[in-house]
Amino acid sequence: MARSDRLFDLIQILRDGRLHRAADLAADLGVSVRSIWRDMAVLTASGMPVEGERGVGYILRQPITLPPMMLQPAELIALRLGVRLVAEGNDANLAAAARSLAGKIATVAPAPRDTDAGEDLFAPAAPAPQRASPHLPLLRKAIRQSERLTIAVLDASGQLTQRDIRPLALALTGQTWVLAAWCDTKAGFATFGLDRLLDIVPRGEVFPREAGKRLADYRKWQALGLGLAEGLDI
């Protein structure tokens, strides 16, 4: 992984406002603890409000503000269309955040010269199944906080089954939201379509980042063609 990509991933992890040990960050990103120390020094030197030290952990306490940047016309179109796609989604919290972000972009970015510019690049997909919508905020929270869940889900034959899981990531594949997880019940990785998810019960337990059961391990499992093809997004 290139350092720039790793720094971006570190910022995304730290945005949850929790204290993260360098060893855990190193394990999640597949690098050495020494690399994490150096990366944290780079983030701090660049002005990121990262607090912490070796042997204790790191935390990002303040909201992140983006530095001024120049965008090419195609980049601005991509930004606007991406925000619009989220704003039209069925996750109420993210949709509201996307609309707020669109307003901020509008105040600093010039309006398109042609109001139809770029519209041909964007074909809104049909909404994801509404059954997934109520579960998305709870699942995102559980992923950020590494919280164990018990879920009730319909299997491929339509039978109700209950699983104890460690949620790892959410993906939108086609028109279906999918949850990637380590399943403690089956002792292996599993993916669950949220359109088949009937109930979620938070267990109030934080699961450890154990080797072989982390998101990085899921991605290796995925690369073997056993999991989701693409689109993972925490």
Query: Which DSSP string corresponds to 52-104?
Result: EETTTEEEE-S---PPP----HHHHHHHHHHHHHHHTSS-HHHHHHHHHHHHH
* Max avg pLDDT among 41-45, 60-64, 153-157, 212-216: 212-216
Amino acid 1: pLDDT: 61
Please list the alpha-helical segments (H only) found in the chain: 3-14, 22-29, 33-45, 73-87, 92-108, 136-145, 215-223
CATH fold of 3-60 = Arc Repressor Mutant, subunit A (1.10.10)
pLDDT tens per residue across span 74-124: 888 788 878 877 777 667 777 888 888 888 777 767 655 544 444 444 444
- Comparing CA positions, the residue from 146, 188, 144, 186 lying closest to residue 166 is 146
Render pLDDT for 161-184 as a digit per residue (tens, 0 to 9): 999 999 998 887 766 788 999 999
Q: What percent of the chain has pLDDT over 70?
A: 79
Domain 130-233 part of CATH 3.40.190.10? no
Q: pTM for the full model?
A: 0.55
